[in-house]
Structure 1
Amino acid sequence: MQKIKAIRIEKTGGPETMALREVELAGPKPGEVQVRAKAIGINFIDTYHRSGLYPVALPSGIGMEAAGTVEAVGDGVTHLKAGDRVAYASGPIGAYAEMHNVNAGTVAKIPAGVSDEAAAAMMLKGMTAQFLLRQTFRVEKGQTILWHAAAGGVGLIACQWAKHLGATVIGTTSSAEKAALARAHGCDHVIDYTTEDVAARVKEITGGRKVPVVYDGVGKATFMGSLDSLAPLGLLVSFGNASGPVTGVDLGILAQKGSLFVTRPTMFHYMAKTPTAFQEMAAELFDVVAKGAVKIEVNQRYALGEAAKAHMDLEARKTTGASVLVP
């Protein structure tokens, strides 16, 4: 056992429920590695765990991704050793800490030329972009797609990646500043969803055809507009709840609006498809970053003890791109 500093929550609620504590950390169990964090990624899923939207057993740590160095390896781990630069984006939650024990099978070595901050910022968001663009709906050259919150952490990565794949990318944002950011990161068209009718603009941009897929991490506020932006037989990929969860949906509306499909995927099911799925997804992500097709930009940095402020900024839409905690 050794003492470390970590963010803990003892009850669900707002950002104020998080506190920096001194806790004891055991060595890694068989199949685990212990990672000393150099940078810790901040993601919307963390706010869901904190608020109780996604229930966790309390008291609990928080956080899903970080980058750093391997301190120790558990029995049975052969592909990693102490001193390796690594990044992860998986459970058990508790990445908001100086050190954390994680499943070695969901830890990837960081290639040369990729910084710790970039690796911490890219894993969960970039792996999310990977499964959404390459697996949930395989985006192909010549297609037009709609991505909500294009200036967000996942959005900036995904829009660059979709553009690299040859798609025409329509993004939505909430301000002129974020619209400029989205354009600089792959969006061919940007819609301000606070002042414009998204579905009407999508119809106008596509000459009435609409789009085969909408990626919606916003949730409640954009759900109907997303459905109305889809071409017949189109797919709505609902992967987040930034504005609150979608509830009370009459499935008949999918028939009325064009025999539409809706899916609510999670990265962890895609990572678990095969024993090598995580490493394959990570390899494809690192490849597009190494090529320069996708640039990872860390626009906000906070000390570990400033986790509450980081969450307040994230939920108030004050952030762009990626945010990290620095232990």
Structure 2
Amino acid sequence: MSISSIAGQTAQSVSQVIINQYGDASSLFIREAILPPPPEGQIRIRHTAIGVNFVDIYHRTGLYALPALPAVLGVEATGVVEAIGPGVESLLPGQRVAYAGPPAGSYATARNLPAERALPIPDDIPDDTVASLLLRGITTHMLYSHVYPLKAGDTVLVHAAAGGLGLVLVQWAKSRGARVIGTVGSAAKATMAKEQGLDEAILYRKEDFVRAVHRLTDGRGVDYAIDGIGGQTLLQTLDTVRPYGMVASVGQVAGDAGPIDLALLGPGRSIALARPGVFRFMSDLSRYREGVLATFEQLRNGLKANIGQVLPLTQAGEAQRRLEAGETSGSILLRP
């Protein structure tokens, strides 16, 4: 690793995964770049584990446009503080830290980041564990504490219950005393989700999930449904919720459902539809830290990390391809 002096500090040679234009996984490539010393209010982090999330794919395709191109992808990682910029007093070199959310740039061996976005990792929690679920943990905290305060006795429907977010949603809901019904794509994924607490698994390729939900709830419907699939699945999910219950739309893997007529929500169904964004939630530093600390607390209380695959940083495109194709269970990590 080459080092050169800049203004009495050091610049560092780093590897980054970037895109020059929006496109498929083949648009990702590795470049070597010089990382300058951290400016005022920032730190330099040497990454130890990098999380792969569906939002990375949305950024790559342009569904969620990045501020400018070329751009380094990735919004979640753990690492070690290597240097601090002027004015940083909350962190010290050598500390293990984690972060999630914008600005993008975690697909790299190291990066500079505003110090306020990095939080120390407790000594009893491994780096890989945090990198595999921090963003998902903050999302789950948002969904269960702010969007719909989930309580004991509620029944929640989780789509893709064996996915990275799904497994966190399942475990967190069970810790609240809720009953969890989940859709999965295979018997193997059903087994995996049930091992994490899922009460009922619906194999959506074999059974209509709307009918299954009504069968499992004696026709009542669930109190809360969380849909990260989008498209037609979101429209069908509206039929799974009891009157005065809620659907939260948190993704669109299957595409945009398009404009939704208010008549689909009521007065016949009388349900609420939320479209919460975790990046908007985390834009408030107090909420961001609240979500991080809530995730750490859940990990101490038994939340399990489900790391399905670990690939080298150079295979970031393959990691995204597998995630996009539904070939994964649990989370994918990149190793710098």
TM-score, length of structure 2 as denominator length? 0.94
Q: Identify the match of residue 270 of structure 2 among 247, 251, 259.
A: 259
Q: Which residue of 1 aligns with 2:312?
A: 303
Q: Which runs of 5+ in 2 are unaligned?
A: 1-10
2 CA distance for matches of 1:125 and 1:81? 27
Q: Is the 8 A contact 1:227 1:257 kept in 2?
A: no
SS in 2 for 1:276: helix
Q: Which residue of 1 aligns with 2:214?
A: 203
Q: Is the 8 A contact 1:13 1:50 kept in 2?
A: yes
Q: Identify the match of residue 60 of structure 1 among 71, 74, 91.
A: 71
2 CA distance for matches of 1:24 and 1:198? 51
SS in 2 for 1:307: helix
2 CA distance for matches of 1:236 and 1:10? 36
Count of residues in Structure 1 that have an aligned counterpart in Structure 2: 325
Q: Identify the match of residue 287 of structure 1 among 275, 294, 297.
A: 297
Deviations 1:185-241 (A, max 9, x none): 121001111121111111111111101211001111411221000111221100011
Establish whether residue 19 from structure 1 lines up as the match of residue 38 from structure 2.
no
Q: Which amino acid aligns with 1:304?
A: L
Establish whether residue 46 from structure 1 lines up as the match of residue 70 from structure 2.
no
Q: Is the 8 A contact 1:61 1:93 kept in 2?
A: yes
Q: Which residue of 2 aligns with 1:320?
A: 329
Q: Rg bigger for which structure?
A: 2
SS in 1 for 2:231: coil
Q: Which residue of 1 aligns with 2:170?
A: 159
Could you tell me how far 1:184 is from its partner in structure 2? 0.9
Q: Which residue of 2 aligns with 1:217?
A: 228
Q: Identify the match of residue 106 of structure 2 among 84, 90, 95.
A: 95
1 CA distance for matches of 2:44 and 2:255? 34
Deviations 1:108-158 (A, max 9, x none): 111112111111112111111111122111110011010101001011011
Q: Is the 8 A contact 1:4 1:98 kept in 2?
A: yes
Q: Which amino acid aligns with 2:288?
A: F
Identity, in percent, stands at 39
Q: Is the 8 A contact 2:306 2:331 kept in 1?
A: yes
Could you tell me how far 1:160 is from its partner in structure 2? 0.5
Could you tell me how far 1:31 is from its partner in structure 2? 2.2
Q: Which residue of 2 aligns with 1:29?
A: 39
Q: Identify the match of residue 179 of structure 1 among 182, 190, 199.
A: 190
Q: Which amino acid aligns with 1:315?
A: E
1 CA distance for matches of 2:172 and 2:186? 22
SS in 2 for 1:306: helix
2 CA distance for matches of 1:263 and 1:186? 25
Q: Which residue of 1 aligns with 2:240?
A: 229
Q: Which residue of 1 aligns with 2:5?
A: none
Q: Is the 8 A contact 1:65 1:124 kept in 2?
A: yes
Q: Identify the match of residue 110 of structure 1 among 121, 127, 149.
A: 121
Could you tell me how far 1:251 is from its partner in structure 2? 2.2
Establish whether residue 145 from structure 1 lines up as the match of residue 166 from structure 2.
no
2 CA distance for matches of 1:264 and 1:74? 37
Q: Which amino acid aligns with 2:229?
A: V
Q: Which runs of 5+ in 1 are unaligned?
A: none
Establish whether residue 194 from structure 1 lines up as the match of residue 202 from structure 2.
no
Q: Is the 8 A contact 1:228 1:257 kept in 2?
A: no
Q: Identify the match of residue 130 of structure 1 among 141, 150, 153.
A: 141
Q: Is the 8 A contact 2:81 2:95 kept in 1?
A: yes
1 CA distance for matches of 2:133 and 2:84? 24
Could you tell me how far 1:271 is from its partner in structure 2? 2.1
SS in 2 for 1:94: coil
Deviations 1:156-197 (A, max 9, x none): 011011001100000111111111111111210011111211
